Amino acid sequence: MIEVLSALTFLMLFSASIFPILTIVYEERLAIREEEKVLYELEETIHHYISTSTIKMSSDEAIVINSEVVDNEFVRICAEWVAINGRMYERCLLASK
C-alpha cells in the first residue's frame, strides 16, 4: 500500500512539474510560427514596394508595418507585433529606393 501511495505521489509531482514546462514550450513554438508568418508577410511587402514603390499594409490588424528612409538610398520596412507568448517583436528588412 505504501509503495502505491509513494508511486502515485511521485507521479503527481512529476506531472505537476512537467505540465507547465510543456505549456511554455508549446507557446514558444506558436510564437516561432507566428514570427515566420510575419516575416513572410514582410517579405511580400518588400517585393510589393520594389515593384510599385508603395508600401502594402498588413492584412492582419495585429501587425503594424512602418517604413522609413535610410541614407536616401534605402527604405527600412519594419513589422511590429505582440506574439502569442505576450512579448513584443520587431523585425526589419531593407529595400533599395
Q: What is the pLDDT of residues 34-92, one digit of tens each?
A: 999 999 999 999 999 888 888 877 777 888 888 898 888 899 999 999 999 999 999 99
Q: How far is CA 10 from CA 7, 17, 27, 67, 92, in A?
A: 5, 11, 26, 55, 48
Grouping H, G, I as helix, E, B as strand and the rest as coil, residue 6 is helix
Residue type, position 55, single letter: I
Residue 15's pLDDT band, with cuts at 50, 70 and 90, is confident
pTM: 0.76
For cell 508577410, the residue is 41
